[in-house]
Amino acid sequence: MSKPWTSARRTSVLRCLVARTIVAVVAVCAGPSPAMAQGEPVAASRVRRQEKSARQLLTPEEWTRLDRAVDRGLAFIARNQQGDGSFPTASDGQPGVTGLCVLALLARGHQPGKGPYGARIDRAIDYVLAIQDPNIGSIFPDRFVGGVPPRSYSGNYSHGICGVMLAEVYGMADAQRHERLRDAITRGLKYTRSQQIRPKANADEKGGWRYVHIRPGNDSDLSITAWQLMFLRSARNAEFNVPEEWIKEAMGYVRRSFDVNERGFVYALSGDERYCSRGMVGAGIVCLELGGQHRSETAREAGNWILRHSFEPYNNSWHPEDRYHYSAFYCSQAMFQLGGEDWRRFFPRLLRVLADAQHTDGSWDPETANGYKGDAKYGTVYTSALAVLALATPYQLLPIYQR
């Protein structure tokens, strides 16, 4: 088990985050501010504000409950790791589910090669790296590429998820893996861009992403687009070359996915795929935040949409495509970004319902959106990783999701 997430440990992490922020600010300033010139202890003041903010996120009792649920969930995930480094799921869910499991471990502060889960993270990274196509850079099994069965529509999900994971671990990896990661991320970015610029029948879909195998009706959707955009942003944070044009085009598609009548983000722009779900509304907010549009009017309206669509009772759904755990993951990130009253009205309730629903072995139920059990095949390790990621938001240890 990991060390408890004590207030002292939270303070230590916050001090590190604040220190990085201060260094960045100093680096771009043309000169000292009046306060700095007068010798005011700016760094200490900011640390105090950050620590106070952390205390305001949750009560001590909620922190205790959060730590217990996350640690039990991670123990369940770790126990189920397979010999090849992957985590169990349906074949077309790989390596995306393995990437999610690594992200869940990272979200609690675990690192490659260190601590109780370090070796497991290393094996999972190696599994993902071994799957990448050396020529085109796609991060999913080549047996799902091409026009003959058993082709899958999930490949670009896996690519985006694993791209985020590899970019997040890039700065933590040992020398043995560092260059392999650099090469994999660079090739992965080229594949991501190649998918973004595929021809689109509808000009409004420019900048978005879709399945490896295009289905009739829409050439882009917000769900896959969100993962690819997160990959671009995470890679850029790790100082990879990601042209602003790529992100600008993606943000254009995200903004066009907002439905002014529904006051939320839709999965796709036309036909029966034009619908709001909690996952897509949360994803839209996260994308806006990653694009630098913090607490915009659109994001706040979408936040109100989420508050009107509760996550109680557990595993509820009001649309066949409204996946509970996937939605909880996105909405938790989104509401943290909005902060303030939006966060306070949302997260304690989500914490309560997820903690109450957790099984004694640390797992959560499979997805059963509105009675549709198609995603149940991805299993309980998949939903448990999503639940942990939804709960781990207050730790703020994954750079891609920091406010």
Number of neighbours of residue 174 by Cβ within 10 angstroms:
11
Give yes or no: residues 203 and 98 share one domain: yes
CA angle 388, 391, 397 (to 5 degrees): 85
Contacts of 327 (CB under 8 A, 6+ apart): 277, 278, 279, 282, 311
- Give the per-residue pLDDT at 5: 41
What are the Cα distances from residue 44, in Å, to 17, 19, 25, 57? 13, 10, 15, 20
Distance CA 139, CA 161 (A): 9
Place of tokens 């799921």: 89
pLDDT surpassing 80 at residue 13: no
Residue 233 CA to its chain's centroid (Å): 11
Q: Which of 102-111, 184-193, 195-204, 367-376 has the lowest mean pLDDT?
A: 367-376
Is residue 12 one of the residues assigned to a domain?
yes
The pTM for the full model equals 0.87
Residues 244 and 198 sit within 8 Å (Cβ to Cβ): no
Nearest to 90 by CA among 331, 321, 387, 367: 367
Residues 41 and 62 in one domain: no
Same domain, residue pair 22 and 100: no
- Is 109 a domain residue? yes
pLDDT in tens, 318-358: 888 899 999 999 999 999 999 999 999 999 999 999 999 99
Q: With 50 as the cut, is the pLDDT of residue 82 above it? A: yes
Dihedral, 284, 231, 54, 337 alpha carbons, nearest 10: -20
Residue 114 lies in a domain: yes
| 47: pLDDT strictly greater than 90 | no
Assess whether 392 and 371 both reside in one domain: yes
Q: CA of 305: how far to CAs of 33, 46, 66, 149, in Å?
A: 41, 33, 25, 39
In a domain, 116, yes or no: yes
pLDDT given for residue 311 in this prediction? 97
One domain, residues 216 and 276: yes
Q: By residue range, what is the domain housing residue 336?
A: 58-397
Q: Token pair 């959560």 is at which residue?
A: 364
Pair (18, 83) in one structural domain = no
| Confidence tier at 154 by pLDDT (50, 70, 90) | confident
User: What is the predicted pLDDT for the residue at 148?
Assistant: 52
The predicted-structure confidence for 62-77, as pLDDT tens digits, reads as follows 999 999 999 999 999 9
* Pairwise CA distance, residues 363 & 361, whole Å: 6
Among 34, 57, 80, the domain-final residue is 57
- pLDDT of 178 > 60? The answer is yes
pLDDT exceeds cutoff 50 at 297:
yes
| Cα–Cα distance measured from residue 73 to residue 361, given in angstroms and rounded to the nearest whole number | 8
**Residue that terminates a domain, selected from 57, 77, 101:** 57
- Which pLDDT score is estimated for 153? 74
Q: What is the total count of domains within the chain? A: 2
Same domain? 334 vs 375: yes
pLDDT for 29 beyond 50: no
